[in-house]
Amino acid sequence: MLDGMKRAAQGMISMSQKQDVIASNLANTGTAGFRKDMSKVTSFSDVLAVEMNPSGAVTPEFIQAGGDVSTEGMLFTSSVTSFAQGSMRQTSNNLDLALNDDGKGLFTIQTPDGLRYTRSGNFKLSSDGHMVTNDGSYVMGHRGKIKLNSADFEVSNAGEVKLDGKVVDKLMITTFDDPSKLKKLGSSYFVASSMGKVSKDAQVMQGFLEMSNVNPIKEMVDMITVMRAYEANQKVLQTEDQMLGRATNEVGRLR
């Protein structure tokens, strides 16, 4: 009985964590280059099964280690960032750059804390003429920081930065074999634990911004599902409580 209550409570906590992730996605529908997070709830025994035997088959060791029905209700919430391409918005601003490559590449940024990566291409000119992000970190090219002396420059599809028709640098677009290992830092930055590779097929579009890849309709539907699942778990908890109440107060009533 108490087990059932614990499981229902666990369900409520998981759903509330899912709701937090949805809220963050919805709050960022207008953030250029934002990548949505997808949360996933897995039961403890599923996780255990994969950890012990990648094929997922139930083995005697698995049952011995506690992987049976009784742990089914113990849940883990995890999230994965989706690197799907966002929609493009034309801005006609020279300093707005978008990557059109199925979401594979990332702009490379030199911050005071090291290299960061971003899909958000709303760059600026610094007072000393470099291409920078909103917080003043340098956008990197193959030759280091990109020096522009005016906003009057061109970026070719291949990412070559041209001043007066002369190529001065090429944007450093990095790709990762396993982008799910990238960690979000806020301010549209990602940090990587391993070195990436230089992208070969990234298409850079000047005068466009890639918008957030959040689909509000999908998030709204998810939100409703989460809400109902939360309610259902709450009902289970209530029922368990009532049953427990009956058992303690009515089964053995003393006159």
Partner 1 sequence: MMRALYTAASGMMAQQINIDNISHNLSNVQSNAYKKSRTEFEDLMYASMDAPGLQADTGIQMGMGTRAVASDRQFSSGSLKNTGNNFDLAIQGDGFFAVKTPDGKTAYTRDGSFKLDAKGTLCTTSGASLGIKIPKDMMDIRVDPDGKVSGVPLTGTQRQTIDQIKLTRFLNPAGMKALGQNLYAWTPNAGEKKEGIPQGPGFGAVTQGYLEQSNVNIVEEMINILQAQRSFEINQKTVQVADDMQKEAIQLKKA
- Which of 10, 11, 28, 172: binder of partner 1 (CB under 8 A)? 28
Nearer to partner 1, 134 or 198 (CB): 134
What is d(CA 121, CA 171) in angstroms, rounded to the nearest whole number? 12
- Least separation, in Å, of the C-beta of 255 and partner 1? 27
- Which of 144, 162, 167, 183: binder of partner 1 (CB under 8 A)? 183
Tokens of 120: 């958000």
What is d(CA 219, CA 130) in angstroms, rounded to the nearest whole number? 38
The amino acid sitting at 101 is D
- Least separation, in Å, of the C-beta of 125 and partner 1? 4
Nearer to partner 1, 80 or 84 (CB): 80
- Which of 6, 104, 142, 184: binder of partner 1 (CB under 8 A)? 184
User: Counting contacts by CB under 8 A, is residue 30 touching partner 1?
Assistant: yes
The owner of tokens 């809400």 is 227
Tokens of 124: 């600026």
Nearer to partner 1, 111 or 142 (CB): 111
User: Counting contacts by CB under 8 A, is residue 26 touching partner 1?
Assistant: yes
SS (H, E, C) the chain: CHHHHHHHHHHHHHHHHHHHHHHHHHHCCCCCCCCCEEEEEEEHHHHHHHHHCCCCCCCHHHHHCCCCHHHCCCEEEEEEECCCCCCEEECCCCCEEEECCCCCEEEEEEECCEEEEECCCECEECCCCEEECCCCCEEEECCEECECCCCCCEECCCCEEEECCEEEEEECEEECCCHHHCEEEECCEEECCCCCEECCCCCEEECEEECCCCCHHHHHHHHHHHHHHHHHHHHHHHHHHHHHHHHHHHHCCCC
Residue numbers 50-109 binding partner 1 by CB under 8 A: 50-51, 76-81, 91-93
User: Counting contacts by CB under 8 A, is residue 193 touching partner 1?
Assistant: no
The footprint of partner 1 on this chain (CB under 8 A) covers a number of residues equal to 69
Asked if 52 and 66 touch (Cβ cutoff 8 Å), the reply is no
Nearer to partner 1, 174 or 188 (CB): 188
Q: Which stretch binds partner 1 (CB under 8 A): 31-39, 64-72, 99-107, 167-175?
A: 31-39
User: Counting contacts by CB under 8 A, is residue 110 touching partner 1?
Assistant: no
Nearer to partner 1, 249 or 252 (CB): 249
User: Counting contacts by CB under 8 A, is residue 228 touching partner 1?
Assistant: no
What is d(CA 205, CA 94) in angstroms, rounded to the nearest whole number? 10
Nearer to partner 1, 9 or 115 (CB): 9
Using CB under 8 A, list all residues that contact partner 1: 12, 15-17, 19-32, 34, 37, 39-40, 42, 47, 50-51, 76-81, 91-93, 120, 122, 124-129, 134-135, 149-152, 180-181, 183-188, 216, 219-220, 223, 226-227, 230-231, 234, 237-238, 241
